[in-house]
Structure 1
Amino acid sequence: MSSPLYLLKTHRFAPLFGTQFLGAFNDNLFKNTLAVLLTFQAAEWTSISSALIAPLIGAVFILPFFLFSGLAGVLADKFDKARLARFVKVWEIFLMVIATTGFATHSFTTLMLVIFGMGMHSTLFGPIKYSIIPQHMGENELVSANALVESGTFAAILLGTLIGGMLSGIPNGGVIAGVASIVVAVIGYGFSRYIPTAPSLSPEMAFSINIFSQTLNSVRLAYQNRIVFLAILAISWFWLYGALLLSQFPSFVQSVLMGDETTVTILLSLFTVGIGAGSILCERLSHHNIRVSLVVVGAIGMGIFGIDFALTAQHFTSAGTLYSNTQFFHILFDLTLVGVFGGLFSVPLYAIMQGRSEAHSRSRIIAANNVLNALFMVSGAVVTMVLLGDGWSIPDIFLLTAIATLLVAGIIARIIHTKAHHES
């Protein structure tokens, strides 16, 4: 058990990992293929401005998290999670067939419906994925399992984004991406068939189709457990910071670094590889236990290197070629370490959320986490748009967010560390 990779050889974990990895890959393959096609060929698809395409795709994808997270949590608590996972994968295959048709016919409306459907797919699968881990893993395996899921998810995001970008640049790239997504979804369904049964721990629970009351009840349930709720707030801040960086990379590269699409890919790759490396490093430093001190270290590291990254960007001068500019490599170094410390920060928080939640209501608490993650990301996007409209530069916004991360994430992490120490 010296390496978390041993879990990938177990029937308890490997099918779940394969299912979630391929699902995350498909999400990003489809979304990025569509985003690039619509950005550069908008006139052939829709009358909507190309500048609004990426925010629109993001908004449509995230809307189901607000609408259906509560319902997803109830379903995962009430029914066998393995069976639900297989249902979700069938839904994904269905969506990818429709997506291929949408690409072939250049139907903007059809593809937006698929984006909404994929958001719903992720909304339903989130509580299943994170609540099934403590049901199949020992307490000393939670950090290892979450480290693999976290690093695997970001690897899938990176691969899906890169391949989607490449496919969008070739003739009939959308249709090829659609067919590839169908194949990936079918393979993902194959993995889901081998997820061991995870029976409901509260089958008698009342069920309501009122999606708003279900979501509100899930958030209330999470709020009742202070340390779990604080962990959720910290995870949500991590997603706000990460989403803000990822969404602004293209504009940052274009307006500040004077780079091109390759430069965006480099930034995206190093940031996501950093998170994956930080997740695995967290597991190595944890020695199969939840080390809350790593959350504090992660928060401080994200803040300090985020501030240095932003200050370097503020004073960036495009002298000579970009790839011979020492400031550019300074930025890459800082960005990678923001990712590494982000991995250290987030992995123990997921383990705390799972380990400290009551087993019979764990899926609903994870659903509350999804709602708050989405709320934080949307809030960050809105504030970013307001600040940009008010004349702030992208490096200014990066600096503000990094300082806030040092303060907000650091304070929350410190409170969690103190409460966990008192309760142990």
Structure 2
Amino acid sequence: MSSQFKLMRERRFLPFFLTQFLGAFNDNFYKNALVVLITFQAARLTTLSPGVLVNLAAGLFILPFLLFSATAGQFADKYEKSRLIRFTKLLEVVIMLLATAAFALSSVGLMLFCLFLMGTQSAIFGPVKYAILPQVLDETELVGGNALVESGTFLAILLGTIVGGLLIAVPSGSVWVSAGTLAVAVLGYLASRAIPPAAAVDPGMKIDWNPATQTWQMLGFVRENRTVFLSILGISWFWFYGAVFLSQFPGFASTVLGGDEKAVTLLLAVFSVGIAAGSLLCERLSGKHVEIGLVPFGSIGLTVFGLDLWWASSAMDAGGATLRPLAELLAEPATWRILFDLVMVALCGGFYIVPLYALVQSRSVPSHRSRIIAANNILNALFMVVAAGMGAGLLAAGASVPQLFLITALLNAAVAIYIYTLVPEFLLRFIVWLLVHTVYRLRVQGMEHVPEQGGAVIVANHVSFVDALIIMAACRRPIRFVMDHRIFRWPILSFVFRTSRAIPIAPAKEDPAMMERAFDEVARALEAGELVGIFPEGGITGNGELQPFRPGIARIVERTPVPVVPLALRGLWGSFFSRKDGPAMTRPFRRGAFSRVELLAAPPVGAAEATPEGLREKVVALLGGVRY
């Protein structure tokens, strides 16, 4: 994982990371200090009940995301981003000066107004926070950068919440909180001054100040790309899921665990560290590119460990009316099972959320990226409000906190099935990811030779029935493989091939019409700027030797002149899916689990030079004389 941490030494990322970390820390520092203050000193400050004030505070912080995200998204696309970030951090300093006055005057109304302003400042910063990453990071750094941002955000939330709750409780706590939040705001502003410029993507845009019409227009931008839209719904669902869990920690700690405030802090710490760890692991597991195959993996974990958390919690005895100290709770094995489930829920949440954010960033139209992220923030806020309403309603109806976790875990399964049915690409990538992380250990070299944009043909040797899946796992772009129509119809694998829009083909002597349709579809795909993969040998090798390349490749590039990228697969001969010593898939564990496989790529060959013989020589050179 060291590669993603290299970003922490570079000016293009570190000042931005510190800025967003300090901002998230300060939001929760101030918010939790205010919540603790009005919870325990409401009678001295106002006639309103603490319960009303706490819920009012939560609503005032989330309301600006609904009101101002649309306008903030326009700002982030219209103006240079580092300048906009400095403005938001300067605004934070002003708000904290006002909060200092609110604490000095013991004015609850002014304190709540400052919380609203903090939410407004965060709503303005939100679209810039995610839209700047694709401008300053390479595609191979996008997952790692998002992982650092997400892990830093959750750790900042944890630290800010703890510090705010502790400082407000000490003598002269409001003075310490005032000084602390102001100091953090100033540090955040100083960090923002070191952020390099990030050019405006649509400087000529005219700002629409009507949040209702602009929100609807932004949602229209999002709906234009089905995958991006459903990814945003997936992100919003994660915030729904997380809001349910985080909001129930105080009740869970007291009624289920029988613990005090320290137990609440422990639950929050475990959850935050789990999210951070899962986020940071994403780069290692995704191979430095946007691997949406981790999303189903994460969603499965959210349901499985959420269900086990309900099961484990249902067997807990809170220990009566007396709250038990933390040491006593940790002496019980059942507590450790609950903590394990909670950290695994959070870990899987990191696997789930980081690829979705990276996918939205990478597939959004650059000129509208900030507005699309603003629409995401609006939907996130709406889902969190619904989560609060569902939690309050179910608890009022007599449900227990573990039952609320059970319902949320089951809803997560239903939402996941729905999204993956609409966008099978998620399940496809999950199957491919499982293959190369459970059956094989894949080493990739030279895949940077595959063009990032535009049509191109991928040619490779054909060793086994899973060659196409391994190549798909290693390539950042989708590939449409041309394959024998009989393999295309194989059970289970047919789902993968259909989902990846593979092109079935038959020999001319068997079905000339199908063959012509295949060549026509290849031409349409290349003209549309897609990648097409073929195995020029015409079939899977039966003796481990590279067979002559057939003339189909010449026909393809003659009709649609595009670059041709030669690939070589090594290490698959003798595997379960190869034909060594007889039919494939008849001798399980022939090579054992986690056998090493290599995929090597050579520089592209121009269409004029892409002859079957010349391409075969390129693949032979990649194989290096090794029998594949």
Deviation of residue 418 (structure 1)? Answer: 5.1
Corresponding position of 1:378:
385
Counterpart of 1:167, as a letter, is L
Deviation of residue 73 (structure 1)? Answer: 0.3
Moved more, 334-343 or 246-255: 246-255
Give the conservation status (yes or no) of the 8 Å contact 2:150–2:279: yes
C-alpha distance in 2 between matches for 1:2 and 1:180: 33
C-alpha distance in 1 between matches for 2:20 and 2:9: 16
C-alpha distance in 1 between matches for 2:239 and 2:416: 11
Relative contact order (C-alpha < 8 Å, sep 6+): which is higher? 1
3-state secondary structure, aligned to 1:23: helix
Corresponding position of 1:132:
132
Find the partner of 2:336 among 329, 342, 346: 329
C-alpha distance in 2 between matches for 1:169 and 1:258: 22
Corresponding position of 2:365:
358
Corresponding position of 2:509:
none
Moved more, 178-187 or 350-359: 178-187
| 1:289-368 to 2 correspondences below 5 Å | 289-318=289-318, 321-368=328-375
Structure 1 residue 393 and structure 2 residue 409: aligned? no
Give the conservation status (yes or no) of the 8 Å contact 2:81–2:132: yes
C-alpha distance in 1 between matches for 2:108 and 2:94: 18
Corresponding position of 1:158:
158
C-alpha distance in 2 between matches for 1:195 and 1:413: 38
Deviation of residue 315 (structure 1)? Answer: 2.2
Moved more, 411-420 or 80-89: 411-420
Moved more, 353-362 or 218-227: 218-227
3-state secondary structure, aligned to 2:123: helix
- What do the CA deviations read for 1:195-251 (whole angstroms, capped 9, x no partner)? 111111111112121122112211121111111111111111111111111111001
Listed as ranges, the gaps of 5+ residues in structure 1 are none
| 1:4-403 to 2 correspondences below 5 Å | 4-318=4-318, 321-403=328-410
C-alpha distance in 2 between matches for 1:215 and 1:113: 24
C-alpha distance in 1 between matches for 2:418 and 2:276: 24
Q: Decide which structure has greater strand share.
A: 2
3-state secondary structure, aligned to 1:144: helix
- What do the CA deviations read for 1:180-203 (whole angstroms, capped 9, x no partner)? 111111111111111111111111
- What do the CA deviations read for 1:375-396 (whole angstroms, capped 9, x no partner)? 0000010111111111111111
Moved more, 312-321 or 121-130: 312-321
Give the conservation status (yes or no) of the 8 Å contact 1:256–1:316: yes
Deviation of residue 107 (structure 1)? Answer: 0.4
Deviation of residue 173 (structure 1)? Answer: 1.0
Moved more, 401-410 or 242-251: 401-410
Deviation of residue 2 (structure 1)? Answer: 4.1
Deviation of residue 257 (structure 1)? Answer: 1.4
The alignment's TM-score, normalised by the length of structure 2, stands at 0.66
- What do the CA deviations read for 1:277-304 (whole angstroms, capped 9, x no partner)? 0001111111211111101100001110
Give the conservation status (yes or no) of the 8 Å contact 1:309–1:334: yes
Moved more, 365-374 or 247-256: 247-256
| Count of residues paired in the alignment | 424
Moved more, 363-372 or 401-410: 401-410
- What do the CA deviations read for 1:122-158 (whole angstroms, capped 9, x no partner)? 1000100100000111111110100000000001000
Give the conservation status (yes or no) of the 8 Å contact 1:7–1:14: yes
Considering only aligned residues, what root-mean-square deviation do their CA atoms show, in Å? Answer: 1.5
Corresponding position of 1:412:
419
C-alpha distance in 2 between matches for 1:328 and 1:56: 33
3-state secondary structure, aligned to 1:47: coil
C-alpha distance in 2 between matches for 1:180 and 1:123: 22
Q: Decide which structure has greater helix share.
A: 1
Residues 252 and 198 of structure 1: is their aligned pair in 2 closer, same or farther, counting only changes over 3 Å? same
Give the conservation status (yes or no) of the 8 Å contact 1:278–1:343: yes
Identity %: 49
Counterpart of 1:163, as a letter, is V
3-state secondary structure, aligned to 1:205: coil
- What do the CA deviations read for 1:28-70 (whole angstroms, capped 9, x no partner)? 0000001011111111122221122322111100000110000
Counterpart of 2:343, as a letter, is T
- What do the CA deviations read for 1:252-292 (whole angstroms, capped 9, x no partner)? 11122111000001100000000000001111111211111
Listed as ranges, the gaps of 5+ residues in structure 2 are 430-477, 479-499, 502-530, 532-628
Give the conservation status (yes or no) of the 8 Å contact 2:293–2:427: no
C-alpha distance in 2 between matches for 1:106 and 1:244: 32
Give the conservation status (yes or no) of the 8 Å contact 2:255–2:318: no
Deviation of residue 413 (structure 1)? Answer: 4.9
Moved more, 381-390 or 354-363: 381-390
3-state secondary structure, aligned to 1:41: helix
C-alpha distance in 2 between matches for 1:362 and 1:161: 31
Give the conservation status (yes or no) of the 8 Å contact 2:151–2:280: yes
3-state secondary structure, aligned to 1:3: helix
C-alpha distance in 1 between matches for 2:231 and 2:10: 28
Residues 316 and 418 of structure 1: is their aligned pair in 2 closer, same or farther, counting only changes over 3 Å? closer
